[in-house]
Amino acid sequence: MKVYKYCSNYSPVIKSLSRSKIYAPSKQQLNDPFEGTVTSKIFEDYKIIKDYLSPSNYEYKIALINKLLVQIGYLGIYSMSKTWRSELLWAHYSNSHKGFCIEYELEDMILTESKTIIFPKIIEIEYSKNPPIYSLDIMDKITEEEFLIMLIGTKSMSWKYEKEVRLIFNNNGEQEINNKAIQSIIFGACASDEDINRTITQMSNKIKYYKINIANDYKLFKEKIN
């Protein structure tokens, strides 16, 4: 699957990309204040059945829930989109069409030697009118990994236009990816010649380069840069 990362700041992103590095921020660094939100019934559920559990069993279950909620804050989240044609994404994330967009082959991004049982993990965002509900009944049916995915893989309907795909890492910060996953760089319609030429010079690997042009019917199309 081809995916696209919209960017506004050339220098640090291209410098890292030329070394096959990306930056995966924590959920606290993202622009949606509802990241990781869950409607948690589970604490209420446990209060109801507390008398039927041994003190040690009850404390263990509550500690496990809290551990998972804390772990969400340490994950690294690299957000991409399924489309390069979104006017809104270019406006919101690429400095009003002055920035650029990186095209990746999603399945090639993960280095084999860095893969563990759970991470890195590819997640396609699900959009919902309400946050996911975490209850005692659900906890008995899903694994810790599935709980993490439920939290970090659900967003409100307001974000549906982003068509988001995420690459999730065990820790936030700089991550190494497979160099062959980088397919092309698409420059925004308002990108300057200076930024374009500097980027092409800085990227040593052989990839394709395109520039967005504007059609008269509210559509974006790209032209290859020779």
What does the pLDDT read at residue 42? 63
What does the pLDDT read at residue 100? 98
Q: Which residues of the chain have pLDDT under 70?
A: 40-43, 45-50, 52-53, 55, 57-58, 61, 136-137, 139-140
What does the pLDDT read at residue 45? 67
What does the pLDDT read at residue 115? 75
Q: Distance (Å, rounded) from C-alpha 155 to C-alpha 128?
A: 6
Amino acid at 9: N
The answer to whether 32 and 77 have CB atoms below 8 angstroms apart is no
Q: pLDDT of 51-106, one tens digit each?
A: 766 767 667 767 777 777 788 889 999 999 999 999 999 999 999 999 999 999 99
Tokens of 185: 């760089």
Pairing of strands 220-224, 208-214: antiparallel
What does the pLDDT read at residue 43? 65
Tokens of 15: 């410098």
The whole-model pTM stands at 0.88
What does the pLDDT read at residue 94? 97
User: Nearest 10 degrees: CA dihedral of 108, 114, 115, 118?
Assistant: -120
Q: Distance (Å, rounded) from C-alpha 224 to C-alpha 97?
A: 17
Tokens of 206: 């052989």
Nearest CA-CA partner of 187 in 12, 2, 14:
14
